[in-house]
Amino acid sequence: MSAIRGGGDRLLGGAAWLAALVVLLILGAIIAMLVYGAWPALEKFGFVGFVTSAEWNPVTEMFGALSPITGTLATSAIALLIGLPVSFGIAIFITQMAPAWLKRPVSTAIELLAAIPSIIYGMWGLFVFAPFFADHIQPVLTGLFGDLPLIGPLFQGAPIGISVFAAGVVLAIMVIPFITSVMRDVFEITPKTIRESAFGLGCTTWEVIWHVILPYTRVGVVGGIMLGLGRALGETMAVTFVIGNSHQLQAALFMPGNSIASTIANEFTEADGEIYTASLIALGLILFLITFIVLSLSKLLLLRLERRQGEKPA
């Protein structure tokens, strides 16, 4: 019997090691493919030159990634700025405030939002949200913030609806279900005795959430935020519909722009020539690096939070 158990342990350990190695091999193969495919463009323009150039001209075969990188970061930032507080509020409502009869319908509605295909979000953004935004929201925002110093140029532009800001709003709606679902699940694992003890000490609901629930679930919360950010960084079809797909680099969020994913989706089928194709693959490599950097920073943040928590006096 002990020999059978030992064989089972060895089999399980071997399968686990094999699974881990397969993941690493796949990741290495993806990186190698991206570097190999992007090499002609990186060799011609240089990595720094490619990243810092805003020129994108297939006729002269001069390509730069600055505009797609800026659009990717801008839309993702807008998505998090809008989606994160909304997701936090929904998760708190479901787990702490909603009556029992309302929790399931709200949770189901959130899960249905996550199941909607991204192309449907894109069509809704193009045909419904963009015209409404151009007619009713953009003029108000331009009037309120357009003349302010520093941030004023961000809120200027023609009221055409499709823009970097519109793409960010659509992305926010798309990432809300993912962040909310993770936050809801991790909030619910907080031991009931801890919460009731905090209420017994006279803490308000907000104090319990801020000082008890969030510290206890910070790893899961950051993981949910990173999941939403990863979805925003790599989203393709919804952004392609509403961002405008313009390679002109502009400061105004209300003007058309592009992202790395939308540029690859729009132009890969018509890429003619080695440098053109290599430049698009180089954009994919840069998107991979951005995602890797974001995930690494989140891991460092979690380690720092854990270290700081461990240094607190008992």
From the list 264, 246, 280, the residue with the least C-alpha distance to 167 is 246
> What pLDDT, on the 0 to 100 scale, is given for residue 39?
94
Report how many domains make up the chain. Answer: 1
pLDDT in tens, 64-83: 999 999 999 999 999 999 99
Quote the percentage of the chain above a pLDDT of 70: 95
Average pLDDT (84-110) is 89
CA dihedral sign, ordered 304, 305, 309, 312? positive
Cβ count within 10 A of residue 106: 15
From CA 289, how far away is CA 295, in angstroms rounded? 10
Q: Which residues contact 179 (CB under 8 A, 6 or more apart)?
A: 83, 84, 87, 224, 225, 227, 228
DSSP 131-167: HHIIIIIHHHHHHHHTTSTTTGGGG-S-S-S-SHHHH
From CA 291, how far away is CA 256, in angstroms rounded? 24
pLDDT in tens, 170-214: 999 999 999 998 898 888 888 888 888 888 888 888 888 888 888
CA dihedral sign, ordered 159, 164, 165, 169? positive
Q: For 105, phi and psi rounded to 5 degrees?
A: -60, -40
8 Å CB contact between 52 and 64: yes
**How distant, in Å, are the alpha carbons of 138, 208, 212 from that of 222?**
32, 19, 16
User: pLDDT category, 152, cuts 50, 70, 90?
Assistant: confident
pLDDT in tens, 259-314: 999 999 988 888 888 899 999 999 999 999 998 888 888 888 777 767 766 555 44
pLDDT top residue among 248 and 306: 248
Residue 304, classified by CB atoms within 10 Å of its CB into exposed (0-12), middle (13-18) or buried (19+), is exposed
> What pLDDT, on the 0 to 100 scale, is given for residue 314?
44
8 Å CB contact between 229 and 294: yes
Q: For 62, phi and psi rounded to 5 degrees?
A: -115, 120
The whole domain housing 179 covers 3-311
pTM for the model? 0.88
CA end-to-end span of the chain = 47
From CA 116, how far away is CA 112, in angstroms rounded? 7
8 Å CB contact between 223 and 185: no
pLDDT in tens, 205-228: 888 888 888 888 888 888 888 888
8 Å CB contact between 279 and 41: yes
User: pLDDT category, 98, cuts 50, 70, 90?
Assistant: confident
8 Å CB contact between 98 and 92: no
What CATH number is given to the structural domain containing 236?
Answer: 1.10.3720.10
